[in-house]
A and B are shown apart, each in its own frame.
Chain A
Amino acid sequence: MRSRPRRHHESLRAAQQRAVPGGGHNDAMIAPPGDPARLSLAGITKAYPTVVANDGIDLAVAPGEIHAVLGENGAGKSTLMKIIYGVVRPDAGVIRWNGAPVAIASPARARALGIAMVFQHFSLFDTLTVAENILLAQDGTHTHADVSARVREISHRYGLPLDPQRPVHTLSVAERQRVEIIRSLLQDPALLIMDEPTSVLTPQAVTNLFATLRTLAAEGCSILYISHKLDEIRALCDRATVLRGGHVTGECVPRDETPASLARMMIGGDLPHPHHRKARAQGAARLVVDRLTVPAADAFGTSLADISLSVAAGEILGIAGISGNGQRELVAALSGEEPLGAAARADAITIDGTPAARLPARARRALGLAFVPEERLPRGAVAEMSLAENTLLTAHGQRLVRAGFVRERALAAFTAATIARFGVRAAGPEATAQSLSGGNLQKFIVGREIRQRPNVFIAAQPTWGLDVAAAADVRQALVDLRDEGVAVLVVSDDLDELFEICDSIAVIAGGRLSAQRAARDTDAAAIGLLMGGAQGAASASLPQDAARPA
């Protein structure tokens, strides 16, 4: 190992310029001595067959620092975190841990180094208890009793109340996240990665989470916080690295930036807002739900109780709520996918005045209902089928079938028109659904439904997982639809989105729906309180989330 003159305060950029990905240099030349970063990435690159997910990424996190990785969906954040956690191997680049180069070949190796990760999608086993779930993730030979004791200890220390003996399927989403966090904390991590943690939390629960994270950081644990929510990052994080299209487009101190400047780094422009035409007068009620009650299908579901709502022509009603509070059941009941059974009143749901609650999905479509489901694949479209075939899925009533046979040319024309009108980037009507990106597929599905000229349009989580541009297109499509006199119902866990496009908002919690109120008469805080209300009641052994101090 050659010696080199010490260089203090060497900038990260200078170090990067000398780092050669993949080449044959002795890394002693590359590693700057006295590098204070706990974790540093230099030139990390990862390419997949269809996209370069990460391209020459540099990043540094100091001990005890809360560092944000900011970027829209598809910017490459998830891939980068998987590389750090050893789930994925980079094609090129150097990872340094406390100054020394390391190869993180697996999650076990990452954990051995002291890196822990809380994924956006939880890795939990519903039929097992909290303790068993945590035990499974432990390397080594801990016993069940050990784990239970430590779980209690950690949950008290960091304000994450949890009973180790409860089966996971009885927990709320926020409680499940606590299991994930405690599972990570059990390893005494030096670096904790949080991947989009707040998409499943009420505003109050977010505040509690931030308190926990600040406590951890104060004890010296570094935190990598992945998000696309500008306000949260400005509130919580010390520094931020911004990703766009796989590259680093900026590093900053979030508190010194404005949302606009952050947005510019994140998407290269200003955040788009939907363009509302002058509001038209709202017409008659087109979708009316009257005291709808649906018992849960099984132990894992949520019962709906006494749900009432009304959407008028030319109105967008938003239903806010944390996922897991009955949204799926409500949407399935409205779309007709879940038969309501003979006990349901036929007029519990009316479409343009016609009782529809006993009608199956097809009959409701015939009445003018259109529906964009939460899962693009495999529900809204069949992955292996072409776009033309996927058009046939719901739009066959558009004179695309004659005497039981498919009119193939008409189908191709209809599909091509949908693709053109909604800006779907696809090879053509014969392209398979799975070859499209998430944003394009969602635009196609929304477009397909809109082209059937519905009277009532239901959209569940319409922009989930979409990049900013596609999300903006979808929201604009919904607004345009509303302006043409359609009654639109949007179910979303993104409060910002709801406030952007909705005329009125109601909150679903624990299977019950709050009263509708005009969007301009309420705000995120009030909605947040309603969102968290039933959650507190569901976890009887725990103090109310809403009551905890910020």
Chain B
Amino acid sequence: MASLQDIIVLTLAAGTPLVMAALGELVVEKAGVLNLGVEGMMLVGAVVAFIVAADTRSAWLGVAAGIAAGAALSFVFAVLTLSLLANQVAAGLALALFGVGLSAFVGKSYVNAVIAGLPPLAIPVLSDLPLVGRLVFGENPLVYVSLLLFAGVHWFLYRTRAGLTLRAVGEAPDSAHAIGLSVVRVRYAAVLFGGACAGLAGAFLAVAYTPMWAEGMSAGRGWIALALVVFATWKPWRVLLGAYLFGGVTLASFQAQAGGLALPSQVLSMLPYVATIVVLALISRDAAAIRRNAPASLGKPFHPDA
């Protein structure tokens, strides 16, 4: 039986890609933009990170490349929806489809490649401390990065003027425009940040979590991240909570399969998706809370008058 610390360590790692992608999408949605293409950006981030890590033998370079790839793909979405004023839902779906296809295409020759990847930290003495050693000093470094990301997003949104501006843009872009804030510029920045986070999440999957590349390896985590943002009613700390909850469910289904539980493996594999549906329904039920917390202009295109 694994120790409590081990379980926590594994849950944190399992939830990390969700933390990264969902925090990024949270910022995007707070600015009033709905980017459904997270799955596509995540996979592209994953495949690019893997390829660069394999070719340069540097995991960190791979991670950086994955972040850049996610941001680059989100830039296409930004141009379509912010400058060309296309429908955000359709553009996001296109992004998801394109990203899935592109990543499969580009990664074809790397499917059986092996890389060293980014292993969890192993600091002498510190990592072996009883009780908290592995948790505080033995996790995968990107897990700590994700926690820093959470702190950064929270501080940005609620303690800086720029974050206030972003929230205002998301709530009432026409008002923001009238008082002189640059809605389009703020939204571009938000979308690129979201793309970078999705790319980071993909990079984590392919380079750190399970160092390998397989077509569609994110297995819907991008979509789950979208649901998470709603589940969290657009509050960063709830994103963290939800992500680890889902990480835990995914982990539990793996453990159950490995532990030889009588249920067929497919049923256990279904669990995270069914859980997502249930949670989404329960949270969305309180329509008043959603209306209170959701950025009022979410998904609506913004066109400044001539």
Contacts and interface: CB of A to CB of B under 8 A. Distances in A.
B171 A107 contact: no
Interface stretch (B123-131, B162-170, B199-207, B271-279): B162-170
Interface of A: 48, 87-88, 106-108, 111, 119, 122-128, 132, 135-137, 139, 141, 183, 297-299
13 contacts: A106-B180, A107-B180, A108-B180, A123-B178, A124-B172, A125-B168, A125-B172, A126-B296, A127-B167, A128-B164, A132-B164, A135-B161, A136-B176
Nearest to A111: B180
B292 A298 contact: yes
A139 B172 contact: no
Interface string B171-182: 110111011110
Could you tell me the dominant secondary structure of chain A's interface residues? loop
B168 A87 contact: no
Nearest to B171: A125
B160 to A, nearest CB: 11
A217 B178 CA distance: 25
The list of the 10 closest CB pairs from A to B, nearest first, reads A123-B175, A123-B178, A137-B179, A107-B180, A298-B288, A125-B168, A125-B171, A108-B180, A123-B179, A136-B168
Contacts of A124: 172, 175
A122 B305 CA distance: 17
A127 B179 contact: no
Could you tell me the dominant secondary structure of chain B's interface residues? helix
Contacts of B179: 107, 123, 136-137, 183
A308 to B, nearest CB: 28
B interface residue count range (under 10 / 10 to 19 / 20 to 34 / 35 or more) = 20 to 34
B306 interface: yes
B180 A125 contact: no
A137 B175 CA distance: 10
Contact of B165 (A119, A123, A136): A136
Contacts of B288: 297-299
Given A88-B306, A123-B172, A125-B171, A136 B292 contact: no
Interface in B142-198: 161, 164-165, 167-168, 171-172, 174-176, 178-181
Given A126-B172, A135-B161, 15 more contacts: A87-B305, A88-B305, A106-B180, A107-B178, A108-B180, A123-B176, A123-B179, A125-B171, A125-B175, A125-B176, A127-B167, A127-B171, A127-B292, A128-B164, A299-B292
B291 interface: yes
Most buried by A among B164, B165, B176, B305: B164
Interface in B250-306: 288, 291-292, 296, 305-306
Interface of B: 161, 164-165, 167-168, 171-172, 174-176, 178-181, 288, 291-292, 296, 305-306
A128 B168 contact: yes
A383 to B, nearest CB: 14
Nearest to B288: A298
Given A88-B306, A123-B179, A136 B174 contact: no
Given A128-B164, A298-B288, A299-B292, A137 B171 contact: no
Nearest to B304: A87
Contact of A122 (B164, B175, B176, B180): B175
Contacts of A127: 167, 171, 292
B31 to A, nearest CB: 13
A107 B179 CA distance: 7
Contacts of A111: 180
A164 to B, nearest CB: 15
Contacts of B292: 127, 298-299
A87 B167 CA distance: 22
A312 to B, nearest CB: 38
Contacts of B164: 128, 132, 135-136
A439 B178 CA distance: 26
Most buried by A among B167, B168, B306: B168
B199 to A, nearest CB: 31
Contacts of A137: 179-180
B174 A123 contact: yes
Contacts of A88: 305-306
B176 to A, nearest CB: 8
Contacts of B171: 125-128
Contacts of B176: 123, 125, 136
B291 A298 contact: yes
Nearest to B165: A136
Contacts of B180: 106-108, 111, 137, 139
